Amino acid sequence: MNITVPDFCRHYGSHVRPSKVLSWINEVELELGENEMAEVFWPTMMRYWSGFDLIPHDDYAVLFWRYRGATLRLQRNWKTLRLPRAPSPDGYVITGLDVRS
């Protein structure tokens, strides 16, 4: 599988980027299929999510649900960090970092 992820940060502002990434994911998924797309989806999300504004949350929730099983296959390549969430002292945010690159 040789998929090049476009540089969405260079070409689009943070308010447009979420919909552009979503459109790209949907196009590539048609080409690759769901199983191979899972290996592209999570690294793409890790790279771009923090730079999104105006996120279509319902659309991304569907994708997160669809690719949730892929995290088990991919997590051996990730390092997981637990960071405190600001408003709740007992809440956590879990972030996966791709340690292969």
- 36's CB contacts (< 8 A; 6+ apart) are 1
CA distances from 80 to 35, 93, 94, 95 (A): 23, 10, 7, 6
Prediction pTM value: 0.64
pLDDT tens across 16-53, in order? 999 999 999 988 888 888 778 888 888 888 888 888 88
Q: Is the pLDDT of residue 99 over 50?
A: no
The three-state secondary structure class of 70 is helix
Q: What mean pLDDT value characterizes the chain?
A: 74
- 98's CB contacts (< 8 A; 6+ apart) are 43, 46, 77, 78
Residue 16 CA to residue 95 CA, distance in Å, equals 23
Amino acid (1-letter code) at residue 39: E
Q: How many residues does the chain have?
A: 101
Question: Which residue bears the tokens 């992820």?
Answer: 5
Note the pLDDT of residue 82: 52
